[in-house]
Amino acid sequence: MANVVSLCKQNRLICVLEAHDTTGYGEDRAAASLDQAVSYWISQKSALVGQENYVVINIGNEPIGNKGAAAGHR
């Protein structure tokens, strides 16, 4: 992760980092929960601290499934 951030900075880019592991949670048994995704990002903390001006994090992609997304907004 630190290398990706470094490469982005060298090329004057903002990194948009995301975990697709949550895609389809509730519909796909292999999908991770948001709690699991947060644990992953916490495990990456040492590579991210101090890089706040260069990194945007999407904690989890489509964490409420693909078919019933409207159900999450009740």
Structure tokens at 31: 């999908």
Instruction: Output the pLDDT for position 73.
Output: 46
Predicted confidence pLDDT, tens digits, the chain (74 residues): 999 999 999 999 999 999 888 888 878 788 889 899 999 999 999 999 999 999 999 998 877 766 765 555 44
Instruction: Output the pLDDT for position 38.
Output: 93
